[in-house]
Amino acid sequence: MSTAAVPHADAPSSPGRGVVLEARNIVMRFGGLTAVDDVSFQVHEGEIVGLIGPNGAGKTTFFNCLTGMYKPTSGEVTLGGRALPPRPRAVVTAGMARTFQNIRLFGNMTALENVMVGRYCRTSSMALTSILRGPKFRREERESIDRGRELLRFVGLDDKADHLARNLPYGEQRRLEIARALATEPQVVLLDEPTAGMNPRETEEAMRLIFRIRELGMAVVVIEHDMRFIFTLCDRVLCLVRGALLVEGSPAQVQSDPRVIEAYIGGSEDDDISADELTEEDVEVLHAEGVDVEPSRTSARSENGR
Ligand SMILES: Nc1ncnc2c1ncn2[C@@H]1O[C@H](COP(=O)(O)OP(=O)(O)OP(=O)(O)O)[C@@H](O)[C@H]1O
Ligand SMILES: [Mg+2]
């Protein structure tokens, strides 16, 4: 596998390929709050899966359960058919890496050093070899530097190798986190809001980058609030609401599902607003976000129809 692979936009979608990641009946409770409520899903080799849902829906908590940051109250996660222990390091070593909603880089280390940190789970040098700095340590360090530079080039940060992470602009920090995740040589990459705070040009670049990651054979699960991004990028989309899986389907199916639209505009049994009461302005906003909504579902209809 080489990061020199040339991307192409019409990468095949994955259904039909083997399951690489599976979560079965994940429940995560915090006291009386059920943040993740019996969620199951499968991710296939080379697939890009989107996870959407309103604020507080449980998306990040679900990622935390998948990656061993949280031990789920119940449920099981398997990677390549093997049960994953709920320990972050074990999960990374098994082949799943992630980025964080709130960027977690080593600010006082350079971009290259940050990527090299990701390599450590794949190098064999133990503490003693590091102290003695024997030939094996030096060889592995050289390889880590070469691989780190290659990954920086892959995410478009080759000219930033020696910059401190904390001095990089926000969008570049997000790409650096992705490079660090890739350095662990994962089969599956989980991205938690990779375009948060990015401008449209950076978002476009992030989308191309994720397509190129898939080109390298990895599966990607991505949490995002930017619907246009999600529906353009993903092969399949899941929508979580109040911890539970509300809808799962192709971007076209999820985009036009009235339950998803209701979830986003706050329509629920607790709320007076429903999809039937969208104003023209609501519809414009939803269209701008890439959500398909029928023009008839507007306030004009509520005024006339009820
Ligand atoms: N460690 C924790 N202790 C207690 N409650 C938690 C904890 N982590 C998350 N929660 C709660 O679980 C719920 C789901 O939060 P989570 O961060 O997973 O939502 P999210 O879908 O990622 O939202 P956002 O889109 O805003 O990032 C929220 O009510 C949150 O307050
Ligand atoms: Mg979140």
The 3 state secondary structure assigned to the chain is CCCCCCCCCCCCCCECECEEEEEEEEEEEECCEEEEEEEEEEEECCCEEEEECCCCCCHHHHHHHHCCCCCCCEEEEEECCEECCCCHHHHHHHCEEECCCCCCCCCCCEHHHHHHHHHHHHCCCCHHHHHHCCHHHHHHHHHHHHHHHHHHHHCCCHHHCCCEHHHCCHHHHHHHHHHHHHHCCCCEEEEECCCCCCCHHHHHHHHHHHHHHHHCCCEEEEECCCHHHHHHHCCEEEEEECCEEEEEECHHHHHCCHHHHHHHHCCCCCCCCCHHHCCHHHHHHHHHCCCCCCCCCCHHHHHHHC
Parts of the chain with a pLDDT under 70: 1-16, 122-134, 266-279, 281-306
Q: What is the pLDDT of residue 16?
A: 62
Q: What is the pLDDT of residue 138?
A: 78
Residue nearest to atom 9 of ligand 1 (CA): 61
Residue 176, ligand 1, Cβ within 6 A? no
Q: What is the atom index within ligand 1 of the atom nearest the CA of 28? A: 12
Residue nearest to atom 26 of ligand 1 (CA): 55
Q: Which ligand is nearest to the CA of 31?
A: 1
Q: What is the pLDDT of residue 58?
A: 97
Residue 61, ligand 1, Cβ within 6 A? yes
**What structural domains does the chain harbor?**
1-95+186-251 (3.40.50.300), 109-171 (no CATH), 258-305 (no CATH)
Residue 46, ligand 1, Cβ within 6 A? no
